[in-house]
Structure 1
């Protein structure tokens, strides 16, 4: 691997908030990478435990580390602060309670350089979702700094969580075709009771209050870059994935919350997507989402959805059974892969 002289290949940015039990392992996973020429930026977001002491200790013993501290302002502000100080050729955002395997940065950097990429999508799961990837969590985003600097208005949105990483990546994915894949990158995701996504159902009202802000950000972005026509499918897939699948389907909502979310999703799609949508692109949307958009009563959708899941599973099993009769192994394998992919959503 050829590294550019006097240039840091990768800046890893870690926002830190009350993770003293996990932080040492997270930092060590970065410092022991097989690509040692890195910059690690730690941003303490007003921690009240021993996280700041851990950050300061590591900064003193490793010159690759930059440390910043701010009043508690949220993960988006912390990531944006870290980004403003980054000097690496590529950027990776790591959560402070997770770890990365030893070759994560090296393999991602090699893929980026070989393909002259603005974005490398990291991880086998996201590799399988190509080509219609409409958003990424931070663990799957390996981004060229110069590409980010071309669009200084695209930042992690403040006061929005969850969904801040999806909004950030969705905009970037719409602005470049120089996207490659690194299925070898292994991200070790730690599950524990204090994670934000674990508490989403406890704060459903607060989460729903941020969705109109999502829509405002998307409208401004698509208008500024004149992308409504060229990227209507990209936008539709994001709306299906984030506010529909992750919020309406996955969250425990009361009747009033369901009506609210159903109404604003339909209004957004009718205003900003369907006027530019090509009929052939509807095949990329699930039958459930299309029915959700067609019905005027979300209670009808709620009655429809369980049976939809049953029928979809029957179809999946039937298709997998039928391809067993195809004599050519390579064709069977490809069809099986296509079926699994199509029925994942």
Structure 2
């Protein structure tokens, strides 16, 4: 019997690696969903703690749970294996140390059906970024499986972390206009010291060495689907979001590392983006990134950016101070949110 004959509305895929402290809570948050017709696919990625035993115990208790195990190969390979075994009409990838609000799957599935979506963006924070969304974390992607199978070459890139979810979602967003929203979806993200992305970003040299690999993935994708001319702005937003904002601005690189990253970003944009970027597209990009693209070196940009940040902080303080004199609390709160959002970029 084929997978589609056994199809359920939703497949939830969780890669599992040494999360015995949090795994039960994550699984319980799935089992307690208001939409009960789903399958939960647990992929043990070579755990050395009690995580496999916890998975197997739950599998014995609930027929909706499927369990698979592999040698430690990384989160991308684990997610791709889960997708291979999925039968759901829609697929959601969840991290094993987080939890879902009890109505998360139900509201996401209803939105997907009502809006006939290939990809539903989940969560108010991520929905509010439309129409210019360059990439999404896995927690914000609710995906039609037939759409994923149509583009079988677009998968989580192996041996890449961080940004494996950003690369995956960026390509999918470029391939469909059927993008829906679920503002109601609440994903509870757990902060703890052993999170992968925190440990990875601490190794600045490792991140720096990965970025050219990201760009090779994008070059291959844009060339294959002939997207440079039509989606140059989408690629520009990705470059601004991932290697520039998340890495160049937020990781404590040395001066030598910054100059290397500056050249990597500039060389890629000069070759693959600027020839196709329209004048109006520059209005979408942030002022720092536009200035970055005009600089000759990292030192020139860093001088500008230090001044830019000081000016923004001053302007924000003045505006928040003036808001204090508004007598209506509801209006004050709304204006504070607006100002904070404006000056976060």
Residue 178 of structure 1 corresponds to 178
SS of 1:245's equivalent? helix
How big is each residue's C-alpha offset from its partner over 1:81-113, in whole Å with a ceiling of 9 and x where there is no partner? 000000000000000000000000000000000
Residue 328 of structure 2 corresponds to none
Q: Does the Cα contact within 8 Å between 1:128 and 1:341 map onto a contact in 2?
A: no
Distance 1:278 1:315 in 2: 30
Between 304-313 and 68-77, the greater mean CA deviation after superposition: 304-313
CA distance 1:42–1:6, shift in 2 (3 Å): closer
Distance 1:113 1:177 in 2: 15
Between 313-322 and 10-19, the greater mean CA deviation after superposition: 313-322
Residue 50 of structure 1 corresponds to 50
Residue 224 of structure 2 corresponds to 224
**TM-score, scaled relative to structure 1:** 0.92
Distance 1:6 1:160 in 2: 33
CA distance 1:316–1:282, shift in 2 (3 Å): farther
CA distance 1:333–1:53, shift in 2 (3 Å): closer
Give the superposition deviation at 1:239: 0.2
**How many aligned positions are there?**
337
Q: Does the Cα contact within 8 Å between 1:11 and 1:92 map onto a contact in 2?
A: yes
**TM-score, scaled relative to structure 2:** 0.92
Residue 278 of structure 2 corresponds to 278
Distance 1:262 1:234 in 2: 20
Residue 301 of structure 1 corresponds to 301
How big is each residue's C-alpha offset from its partner over 1:136-156, in whole Å with a ceiling of 9 and x where there is no partner? 000000000000011000000
Give the superposition deviation at 1:255: 1.4
1:59 equivalent in alignment to 2:59: yes
Residue 329 of structure 2 corresponds to none
Residue 289 of structure 1 corresponds to 289
Q: How does 1:1-345 map to 2 (within 5 A)?
A: 7-315=7-315, 341-345=341-345
SS of 1:296's equivalent? coil
Distance 2:321 2:236 in 1: 32
SS of 2:293's equivalent? helix
Distance 1:85 1:334 in 2: 46
Distance 2:269 2:34 in 1: 46
Distance 1:92 1:164 in 2: 15
CA distance 1:278–1:338, shift in 2 (3 Å): farther
Give the superposition deviation at 1:130: 1.1
Residue 328 of structure 1 corresponds to none
Give the superposition deviation at 1:160: 0.4
Distance 1:336 1:248 in 2: 28
How big is each residue's C-alpha offset from its partner over 1:228-277, in whole Å with a ceiling of 9 and x where there is no partner? 01111110000000000111111010111111100010000000000000
How big is each residue's C-alpha offset from its partner over 1:146-195, in whole Å with a ceiling of 9 and x where there is no partner? 00011000000011000000000000000111111111000000011100
SS of 1:294's equivalent? coil
Question: C-alpha root-mean-square deviation of aligned residues, in Å?
Answer: 2.4
